[in-house]
Amino acid sequence: MNLQRWINRKEPLWKQLEALLQKIDKQGFKSLNASEVRSLSSLYRIVSADLARARTHQLGQTLTHSLQVLTTRAYSQVYQGSRRQDWKAAREFVLWGFPAVVQETALYIGLATLMFLVGGLVAWWYAWRDPAFMTIVVPQPMIDMVMTEKKLWMGRILGNEPMSSSSIMTNNLSVSFRAAAGGITAGLFTTYILVFNGLLIGAVGVLVAQGGLAYPFWAFVLPHGSLELPAIFISGGAGLLIARALLFPGEYRRVDAFKLYGLKAAQLMFGVVALLIVAGVIEAFVSPQLWLPAPMKYLFGTALFIALVVYCSRSKPIDQPQ
């Protein structure tokens, strides 16, 4: 290996990387344009390989040390720049990406919502007319507590808020991910989860109405339900997207349809996770609290739902940088 010839060939690349690093030191990473960011990453890989060769062939302590310093500086900037880009992408998704995919898949989310509402209306209709129907859907201890003791069950959360919040989040996330993954069964399991949960809330609604506890019950449900129920509907929409890819790939090959609709479903689920985390905190620390008057809970839940609708209706301004 001709050391001097190798150095002469490689030195211009090392100087290019040094110049980029000096620019970052003086003006910051944001001063680099897209081409320079790509060059920084490419040059970092080249110099890393040169450092490995210098060590392997023992090309001298001075040269090896210089390449080591250059590689370390470049690694720091490449890593931090990638992390900045990740944070920027995450911020863009929260501000504009999630609302956009919700709007794009509104038909599927609306269909999932309709399935839930049909289940709720069926349960409401039959539970008022046939007491036996209530016992099929609602656990007997819950019925006894409401009808005999005239009490609601959410008081168990008080005094155990952190553990309850964790348990609530885990349960809701489990239901949501099953609803989304149920799309792989051609949407049958997704439909079952949506309709069953609709049946349950409809039957419970009749139970608390018959027990004279409807007002405090819905005051409990609305603060967290304003986020929790839409999250379930969005999860159902994600499941129906996957079912669409399976059943009606359209102009796409089925594998390509799964990639397309699966990506949209995954984007929806990122938002669902955030919604359910917030809802779980509210359900444990706000919804059951006795110090908060029922009218305030109704107002809080309504405001939260309106805020969610406004957020999901956002559109990225035309002049917003991509």
Residue 153: per-residue pLDDT: 83
pLDDT for the residue numbered 6: 75
pLDDT at 180: 96
In the chain the first and final C-alpha atoms are separated, in Å, by 48
Distance CA 220, CA 201 (A): 13
Of the pLDDT bands very low, low, confident and very high (cuts 50, 70, 90), residue 85 is: low
What's at 239, amino acid-wise? G
What's the rounded mean pLDDT across residues 219-238?
A: 97
Phi-psi region of 263 (alpha: psi -120 to 50; beta: other; left: phi over 0): alpha
Answer whether residue 321 shows pLDDT above 60: no
Instruction: Output the pTM of the full model.
Output: 0.75
b/e per residue 228-261 (b: at least 16 CB within 10 A)? bbbbbbbbbbbbbbbbbbbeebeeeeeeebbebb
Q: What is the mean pLDDT of residues 200-214?
A: 95
Question: Could you identify the residue written with the tokens 């046939």?
Answer: 130
Beta-carbon-side half-sphere exposure of residue 290 (alpha carbons within 13 Å): 7
Least confident of 63-72, 93-102, 179-188, 294-303: 63-72
pLDDT band at 322 (very low <50, low <70, confident <90, very high): very low
Q: What whole-number distance in Å separates Cα of residue 224 and Cα of residue 102?
A: 20
Is the pLDDT confidence value at 83 over 70?
no
Estimate to the nearest angstrom the gap between the alpha carbon of 157 and the chain centroid. Answer: 26
Q: What is the pLDDT of residue 86?
A: 57
